[in-house]
Amino acid sequence: MALQQRDFVLDGDNFTHHYLCNYKPYFEGVDRLSYSLIRFKKSETIDVRAWTDCSVEALKRIHFRTSTAVLRSLHSSEEKVGAGLTSPLDILGLAIASAIDGQYLPHLLRKNKVIPPLKGLKLEAREKLMKNLYDFEKEGTINSILIVDDIFTSGTTMAAIIRAIRKRLSCPISLFTLAATDQASNKERTLSGVGYSWKPEQGWIQVQEPDEPYYRVADLKKLIEEDFQ
């Protein structure tokens, strides 16, 4: 199992971005993975377990510095991480932190306001909404940071988080997402699949269940692993 990797360029710096799979265009066939990513967002048990297991297995083979802090993006309706750490991203972040001997510290990130969902917003509107939205508070010893999210599309969320961190820390920052569009800029590429349609200006347009769903964690893990082997 091998992670995919590329650089996310922001303000003249390169940040390593690891991810498991790409979105698939229509001509590649039934896209069960894009459907599964939406199920992950909705906390469906099979999908959360499968994506988390695959992420852990891949990331534990990468060397991370001691005292690596694992953070996650905040949902549009969140100003800070809630109690319990039961969201899909919390489950993912906790598992990753344990696998790399890091610390899951999502409370270090806050937003100064609740925002509407980014879905449906054009790229320029997203960037304006995300500007100076995040705040970061340093706590304890942090030698590096890994930011976790489910899907990388335009990069506006990651950019906002990185800029907030950079106001406080200059340590190495890397990114991990379950999936990513196949171009880092995402300014011209339009993707459409059997289970979804996504445009850079608008985000997710529709999601439909594909004809051949999966029923077990092992089945979905096999689909994910086959996508990036």
Angle of helix 45-59 relative to helix 88-99, nearest 10 degrees, comes to 30
Domains of the chain: 4-227 (3.40.50)
- Please tell me the predicted confidence (pLDDT) of residue 213: 65
Q: How far is Cα of residue 27 from the mean position of the Cα atoms in its chain? A: 25
DSSP letter assigned to residue 203:
E
- Please tell me the predicted confidence (pLDDT) of residue 197: 54
- Please tell me the predicted confidence (pLDDT) of residue 24: 56
Query: Tokens 């890397």 — which residue?
Result: 174
Tokens of 52: 């988390």
Cβ-Cβ contacts under 8 Å for 209 (sequence gap 6 or more):
35, 195
Q: Characterize the bridge pairing of strands 196-199 and 203-207.
A: antiparallel
Q: Which residues of the chain have pLDDT under 70?
A: 1-2, 23-31, 119-120, 182-213, 228-229
118 with 41: CB under 8 angstroms? no
Distances in Å between the Cα of 120 and the Cα atoms of 29, 74, 133, 151 are 25, 18, 19, 16
- Please tell me the predicted confidence (pLDDT) of residue 13: 96
Angle of helix 217-227 relative to helix 32-41, nearest 10 degrees, comes to 120
Q: In terms of DSSP H, where are the helices of 61-155?
A: 88-99, 123-130
- Please tell me the predicted confidence (pLDDT) of residue 36: 86
- Which strand ranges, in their side-by-side order, compose the sheet holding 196-199? 191-192, 196-199, 203-207
pLDDT tens string 27-69: 454 567 877 888 898 999 999 999 999 999 999 999 999 999 9
